[in-house]
């Protein structure tokens, strides 16, 4: 038995709290300076080779101290992001985060609360936030929910509840290995890649996800959906769920959610809505009609780190029937047994609603941000983003050399440089090069996508720092760079000729 | 088309940066004061009814400002945690976090980096951290890995890779619905609850997880394991994976991992190790023999927010065969297409290794902590925690009224108050009451569990703030409170008689 050692016990707390306090203040000052000066920084810049090479150092056996490692962060990490803090970043539906969200994450990490549940104020904060979010989405007061990392897992959890609630057998015990008819689910071909991930993860298989054709506005074709469900039923399969999308990732399209809800009721199917960013449009009264039907979903997934403007990671799944939610995941272990008093009174309700047992205090940044800014401010900003997207679409349509490639119902704009008389293959190559030069020049960060074979510059605007002038700058730069690339090509052809 | 509005555009950045800076500094000061004074605070305290009621307020339509919401945090949230910051918290294997980890999370939230991948320094930080963690765990240089929220999802991912690699058919496309022989996996009855969650989530079904009996030291019985696999094979089923545990949650036991690895090689089974906290013992040279065999696993899951002392959420899954890892999850979407230049050069490697597409910058706190403290310091602290557990076990064994209920191979101590001549039923009731009074009195936060029908006080020590004297205080308080409860009961019986 160990007993004789009388050396002083170590800790990872700072030896000198005042010295650490000084460093912590500098960290805050530097980050706030950084955030306040984003507009003077490039939207993106490539990492120099020396910086990249510096991340190949050997395992640090001996500590170098917080001061030294922070210096390295400032020199080698902070200057080389993917750009998503910047006022002219509109790539891949990534939010900016906020200064208050940043400080809330510091407070959350400092408290280090474990949100399986427990008899603690942080659990009450998460309960309150979930009630607020349910109210914002038009879900009933008794609805259940959970904060999770991102849209994919939020959607996976919704689909897992659907699988359990609509299986008609004990899918938790038996799994999908019982040789029963294949369970199938449905969504448009524009459904986000999470649906494939979910189908695979849950053991349903990608073959079980039926991709239904869309109309010209990228919304699911209701007749094709009906036909697909009927055909599967006729073949002896087991349709269990329909996915509606509020705001597709490619173009911001929203399915006719009310029609889908009605169809699901008639057919006894679970109705899950992926509202990753689109569902947030519900906050703005004039945008709400576009996403109507969300409130009829059996489950809904959405991100707060996109159009909720919060730092990563923070998404939410809501489930109308709280019992169905709990039934899909609840597990009891003896060392987790609930007590009526003490730290574990009230049990671990959040662990019973998803995959994670250990969960951090994501709820704090939601709680602080909703209370500090108010939901009316969020609604105004969401509306502002849509107005900016419409402004950009208008500028594109008015420009002789630019072309809109999809309708702009919400905050996603797909367009390209397309002067008259240029062939499709060349346009694709030129626009891909435009995208890279916009990024490499530090001008702006849109992303690219392909719509009907045509390469599109894609602006997904969930940026609370963007101004109208930023979109004007994008229009100007796109046309200018497009012209430069064509002139270079013509020059090269001339020299070669 | 929207165009006429000329109102000034809004943002969620502070209107007055200096004012916000002042608030941010106060937040840092308050948190550091809080952390520096933990020893003077109770280990836990119940929430007053008024505080609990304050979390039932209506949705905040109008903002009240950051200052007001922070005041509410200080008054109603910070004082009522579940206790896991405290030097005498040893419940449920929850770490304390560190001040540096707290500030690293602030920096991460400030940068708000999106870690699907991208051509950015944060991705290099995660790559480097994963290489370091692989080295610490004895995995080969080419091994793959991913930082995730917690041990459950880390283990789920490992099992999902196993399912894909050992299916013998295209499980991603077909799922488990093809009517094929049932895929089964194996672990001891002491395996953590994640295994059931994983079996259910992945569509394998709880029935597919074979719980193999353990020996007196709570380690899997190798003969029973062999028999179970043989019997399933004989029945036409499809065994695919064995789970070894390094550090069980109940008692800290570790399976004979080398034997399990050898068995899996012979039988063509995937070997997954759940080393949630136990695998970290590998860092300390004198503890390493206990967890030998980890380095032979095909996949390994472990937490950095437990015995890595980091704030939630931060766990890691390592996969020996990088290609098998990628093959299990990789998906390509047109709007995510990799480019050779620009922001998306290098693609989204992390999204191809798990469920999440959107991922935060968890890697920063790992990187900063490993570099600032050094892995030697972590090894010393881990060893210190084990020594403290042995010290506690020694004090329990030496105490006439206390009893050790399980061996103490690592950092978990299960014991009870058990004066001579008291029946089992009364001992269970008394010890459950002792636990509640330890917590309610703010003295210490162990948790409880049941071992062979006996209620145990369970100390899981991953606490970098604990000192030997804290365990002495626990021993003293347990015996004292036990005596008080028995005296109360005797008094009540006397009055009733």
Does residue B65 form part of some domain?
no
Which chain B positions have a beta carbon within 8 Å of A1's beta carbon? 390-391, 393-394, 397
Task: Tell whether the model's pLDDT for residue B21 goes beyond 70.
Answer: yes
d(CA B159, CA B139): 18
Between positions 378 and 437 of B, the ones with CB within 8 A of A are 380-381, 384, 387, 390-391, 393-394, 397, 432, 435-436
| Percent of residues, chain B, with pLDDT higher than 90 | 94
- In-domain check, residue A201: yes
Q: Comparing A261-270, A376-385, A488-497, B281-290, which segment has the lowest mean pLDDT?
A: A488-497
Confidence of residue A335 (pLDDT cuts 50, 70, 90): low
Pairing of strands B412-417, B209-212: unpaired
Chain A contact present for B201, CB below 8 A: yes
pLDDT in tens, B103-153: 999 999 999 999 999 999 999 999 999 999 999 999 999 999 999 999 999
Instruction: Indicate if the pLDDT at residue B99 is higher than 60.
Output: yes
Cα separation, B316 vs B339, in Å, equals: 28
Is the same domain home to B287 and B426? no
Work out the average pLDDT over A127-151.
97
In chain B, residues with a C-beta closer than 8 Å to the C-beta of A361 are: 312
- Decide which of B373, B392, B419 is a domain's last residue: B373
Q: Which residues of B touch A336 (CB under 8 A)?
A: 92, 193
For A196-240, the pLDDT digits (tens) are 999 999 999 999 999 999 999 999 999 999 999 999 999 999 999
Nearest CB neighbour to A94, from listed B34, B114, B151? B114
| Chain B CB contacts of A13 below 8 Å | 35-36, 98-99, 464-465
Q: Are residues B395 and B362 in the same domain?
A: no
**Closest approach of chain B CAs to the CA of A75, in angstroms?**
11
Say whether residue A107 is in contact with chain B using an 8 A CB cutoff.
yes
In a domain, A1, yes or no: no
Yes or no: say if B209 and B185 are a contact pair by the CB < 8 Å rule.
yes
Q: Does A226 touch chain B (CB under 8 A)?
A: no
CB contact under 8 A, B206 and A31: no
**Across all residues in chain B, what is the average pLDDT?**
95
The pLDDT confidence band at residue A174, using thresholds 50, 70 and 90, is very high
Q: Pairing state of beta strands A447-451 and A402-404?
A: unpaired
- What pLDDT was estimated at residue B1? 33
Q: Is the domain of B204 the same as that of B353? A: yes
Q: Say yes or no to pLDDT of A340 above 90.
A: no
Instruction: Return residues 251-290 of B near A (CB < 8 Å).
Output: none
Any chain B CB within 8 A of the CB of A26? Answer: no
- Residue B177 belongs to a domain with what CATH number? 3.40.640.10
pLDDT of B346 reads: 84
| A289 vs A273: CA distance, rounded Å | 16
Q: Is the dihedral of CA B421, B427, B433, B436 positive or negative?
A: positive
Residue B151 contacts A, CB cutoff 8 Å = yes
Option in A92, A112, A202 nearest B203 (CB)? A202
Sign of CA dihedral B105, B108, B110, B114: negative
pLDDT for B423 beyond 60: yes
Residue B287 falls within a domain, yes or no?
yes
- Tell me the mean pLDDT in the region A78-106: 97
Chain B partners within 8 Å of A436 (Cβ) = 339, 341-342
The tens digit of pLDDT for each residue in B227-270 reads 999 999 999 999 999 999 999 999 999 999 999 999 999 999 99
Whether residues A57 and A175 share a domain: the answer is no
**A21 part of contact set with chain B, CB < 8 Å:** yes
Q: State yes or no: pLDDT of A5 exceeds 60.
A: no
pLDDT of the residue at B331: 86
Cross-chain Cβ contact A120/B94 below 8 Å: no
pLDDT for the residue numbered B4: 39
Cβ–Cβ contact A55 with B under 8 A: yes
Residues A79 and A117 in one domain: no
Structure confidence at residue B6 (pLDDT) = 47
pLDDT at residue A494 in the model: 82
Same domain, B429 and B458: yes
What average pLDDT does this structure show over B73-83? Answer: 97
A25 interfacial to chain B (CB closer than 8 Å): yes
Does the beta-carbon distance from A3 to B98 stay under 8 Å?
Answer: no
Q: Could you report the per-residue pLDDT of A55-78, keeping only the tens digit for each? A: 999 999 999 999 999 999 999 999
Domain co-membership, A332 together with A437: no
Which ipTM score applies to this complex? 0.97
pLDDT at B5: 47
Categorize the per-residue pLDDT at B334 as very low, low, confident or very high, splitting at 50, 70 and 90.
low
What pLDDT score was predicted for residue B493?
83
The predicted pLDDT at position A333 comes to 64
- Is residue B157 a part of any domain in this protein? yes
* Chain B residues closer than 8 Å to A347 by CB: none
Neighbouring residues of A11: CB distance < 8 A, sequence distance ≥ 6: B381, B464, B465
Q: In chain B, which residue's Cα lies nearest the Cα of A66? A: B372
Report the pLDDT averaged over residues B477-483. 98
What token pair was written down for B302? 């472990």
pLDDT of residue A497: 62
**Same domain, yes or no: B380 and B346:** no
Residues B9, A384: C-beta atoms closer than 8 Å:
yes
B106 and A66: CB-CB below 8 Å? no
**pLDDT the model gives residue B7:** 58
> What's the confidence (pLDDT) of residue A310?
98
Same domain, A204 and A149: yes
Are residues B402 and B300 part of one domain? no
pLDDT one-digit tens code per residue, B174-232: 999 999 999 999 999 999 999 999 999 999 999 999 999 999 999 999 999 999 999 99
Question: Which of B96, B113, B176 is the closest to A203 by Cβ?
Answer: B176
Q: How many Å separate Cα A227 from the centre of its chain?
A: 31
Q: Does A151 touch chain B (CB under 8 A)?
A: yes
Beta pairing, strands B209-212 & B183-188: parallel
B35-63 pLDDT, tens per residue? Answer: 999 999 999 999 999 999 999 999 999 99
Contact check, Cβ <8 Å, A100/B61: no
pTM of the model: 0.97
Asked if residue A487 lies in contact with residue A445, where contact means CB atoms within 8 angstroms, the answer is: no
Residues forming beta bridges with residue A273, ordered by sequence position: A244, A300
- Provide mean pLDDT across the span A133-147: 97
Domain range enclosing A348 = 113-373
Taking the alpha carbons of A31, A37, A43, A47 in that order, is the dihedral positive or negative?
negative
Residue A217 placed within a domain: yes
Choosing from B315, B343, B373, the residue where a domain stops is: B373
Residue B415 phi/psi, 5-degree rounding, is -150, 175
As for how many domains chain B has, the answer is 2
Q: Which residue of B has its CA nearest to A334?
A: B449
Report the 3 state secondary structure along chain A: CCCCCCCCCCCCCCCCHHHHHHHHHHHHHHHHHHHHCHHHCCCCCCCCHHHHHHHHCCCCCCCCCHHHHHHHHHHHHCCCCCCCCCCCECCCCCCCCCHHHHHHHHHHHHHCCCCCCCCCHHHHHHHHHHHHHHHHCCCCCCCEEEEECCHHHHHHHHHHHHHHHHCCCCHHHHCCCCCCCCEEEEEECCCCCHHHHHHHHCCCCHHHEEEECECCCCCECHHHHHHHHHHHHHCCCEEEEEEEEECCCCCCCECCHHHHHHHHHHHCCEEEEECCCHHHHHHCCCCHHHHCCHHHCCEEEEECCCCCCCCCCCEEEEECCHHHHHHHHCCCCHHHCCECCCCCECCCCCHHHCCCCCCCCCHHHHHHHHHHHCHHHHHHHHHHHHHHHHHHHHHHHHCCCEEECCCCCCCEEEEEECCCCCCHHHHHHHHHHHHHHHHHCCCCECEEEEECCEEEEEEECCCCCCCHHHHHHHHHHHHHHHHHHHHHHHHHHHHHC
Residue A3 scores a pLDDT above 50: no
Q: Which residue is listed with tokens 């203040």? A: A25
Identify whether residues B419 and B278 lie together within a single domain.
no
In angstroms, the Cα distances linking B150 to A257, B158, B333, B388 are: 34, 13, 27, 26
- Asked whether residue A329 carries a pLDDT value surpassing 50, the answer given is yes
Q: Label the pairing between strands A209-212 and A238-245.
A: unpaired
Query: Looking at the predicted structure, is the pLDDT value of residue B3 above 70?
Result: no
A425 domain residue, yes or no? yes
The pLDDT value recorded for residue A334 is 61
Mean pLDDT value across residues A436-458: 96
The reply to whether A89 falls in a domain is no
Mean pLDDT over each residue of chain A, to the nearest integer: 95
Check whether B333 has a pLDDT greater than 70: no
Sign of CA dihedral B477, B479, B480, B483: positive
Q: Which of A363-367, B8-12, B63-67 has the lowest mean pLDDT?
A: B8-12
Are residues A471 and A406 located together in one domain of the fold?
A: yes
State the first-to-last Cα distance of chain A, in angstroms, to the nearest integer: 88
A351-360 pLDDT, tens digit each: 999 999 999 9
pLDDT band at A6 (very low <50, low <70, confident <90, very high): very low
Confidence of residue B335 (pLDDT cuts 50, 70, 90): low
Examine the fold and report which residue of A66, A83, A100 is the final residue of a domain before the chain moves on: A83
Q: Is B120 on the interface with A (CB under 8 A)?
A: yes
Which among A136, A201, A207 has CB closest to B174? A207
């Amino acid at each position: 038995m160990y007993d004789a050692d009388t050396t002083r016990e170590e800790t990872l707390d700072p030896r000198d709290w005042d010295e650490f306090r000084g460093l912590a203040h500098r960290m805050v000052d530097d980050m706030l300076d950084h955030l306040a000066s984003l507009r003077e920084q490039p939207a993106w810049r490539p990492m120099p080779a020396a910086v990249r090479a510096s991340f190949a150092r050997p395992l640090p056996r001996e500590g170098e101290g917080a001061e030294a490692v922070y210096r390295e962060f400032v020199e080698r990490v902070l200057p080389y992001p993917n750009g998503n803090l910047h006022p002219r970043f509109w790539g891949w539906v990534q939010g900016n985060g906020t200064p208050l969200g940043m400080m809330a994450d510091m407070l959350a990490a400092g408290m280090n609360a474990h949100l399986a549940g427990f008899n603690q104020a942080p659990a009450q904060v998460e309960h309150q936030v979930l009630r607020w979010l349910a109210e914002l989405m038009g879900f009933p007061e008794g609805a259940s929910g959970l904060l999770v990392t991102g849209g994919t897992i939020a959607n996976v959890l919704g689909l897992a509840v659907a699988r359990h609630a609509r299986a008609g057998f004990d899918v938790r015990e038996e799994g999908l290995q019982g040789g029963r008819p294949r369970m199938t689910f449905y969504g448009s071909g524009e459904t986000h890649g999470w649906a494939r991930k979910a189908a695979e993860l849950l053991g349903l298989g990608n073959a079980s996800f039926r991709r239904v054709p869309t109309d010209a506005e990228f919304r699911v074709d209701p007749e094709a959906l009906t036909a697909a469900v009927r055909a599967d039923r006729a073949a002896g399969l087991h349709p269990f769920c329909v996915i509606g999308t509020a705001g597709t990732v490619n173009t911001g399209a929203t399915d006719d959610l009310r029609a889908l809800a009605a169809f699901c009721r008639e057919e006894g199917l679970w109705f899950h809505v992926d509202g990753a960013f689109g569902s947030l449009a519900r906050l703005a009264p004039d945008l709400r009609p576009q996403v109507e039907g969300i409130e009829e979903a059996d489950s809904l997934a959405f991100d707060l780190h996109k159009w909720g403007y919060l730092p990563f990671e923070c998404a939410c799944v809501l489930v109308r029937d709280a019992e169905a939610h709990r039934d899909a995941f609840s597990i009891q272990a003896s060392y987790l047994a609930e007590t009526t008093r003490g730290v574990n009174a009230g049990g671990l309700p959040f662990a019973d609603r998803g995959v994670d047992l250990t969960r951090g205090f994501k709820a704090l940044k939601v709680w602080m941000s909703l209370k500090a800014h108010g939901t009316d401010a969020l609604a105004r900003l969401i509306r502002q983003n849509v107005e900016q997207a419409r402004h950009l679409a208008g500028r594109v349509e008015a420009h002789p050399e630019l072309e809109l490639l999809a309708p702009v119902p919400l905050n996603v704009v797909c367009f390209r440089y397309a002067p008259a008389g240029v062939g499709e293959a060349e346009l694709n190559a030129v626009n891909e090069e435009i995208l890279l030069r916009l990024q490499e020049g530090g001008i702006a960060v849109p992303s690219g996508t392909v719509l009907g074979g045509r390469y599109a510059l894609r602006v997904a605007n969930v940026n609370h720092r963007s101004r109208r002038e930023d979109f004007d700058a994008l229009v100007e730069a796109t046309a200018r760079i497009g012209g430069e690339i064509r002139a270079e090509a013509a020059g090269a052809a001339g020299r070669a000729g």
